[in-house]
Amino acid sequence: MTDIWLETLITNTPQQGFELAITLSRRGVKYTQPDAETLKALRPEYANSADGLTAASQVIATNFQTVAAANNYWWKSQFCVL
């Protein structure tokens, strides 16, 4: 894939950051397995697997940590509670 789709990790809110983390995770799968038919064929296996869903959640969480760090944990945002 040669399209440039990720220009920044900066988001306005944690919600947008989480959505970006999901996008990063999904894009990672597409880069790893670019064949759409294979992805569709494998989906039932992991979609009904507690281990598969847990692993997917861990990847999203790792990406969210990266996005949060890039955004200084939204420290200056209205969401910061002291």
In a domain, 17, yes or no: no
CA-CA distances (angstroms) from residue 5 to 27, 37, 51, 52?
Answer: 10, 23, 30, 27
Residue whose entry in the numeric block shows the structure tokens 């220009």: 7
Task: Say what the pLDDT of residue 80 is.
Answer: 57
Find, among 63, 65, 59, the residue nearest to 46 by Cα.
59
- Domain of residue 65 covers 26-69
Phi–psi pair at 41, nearest 5 degrees? -70, -35
In a domain, 43, yes or no: yes
pTM of the predicted protein model: 0.84
In a domain, 79, yes or no: no
In a domain, 21, yes or no: no
If one counts every other C-beta atom within 10 angstroms of the C-beta of residue 39, the result is 13
In a domain, 62, yes or no: yes
Report the pLDDT averaged over residues 66-74. Answer: 96
CA-CA distances (angstroms) from residue 22 to 5, 29, 57?
Answer: 14, 11, 9
Total count of domains within the chain: 1
In a domain, 81, yes or no: no
Task: Say what the pLDDT of residue 81 is.
Answer: 56
In a domain, 20, yes or no: no
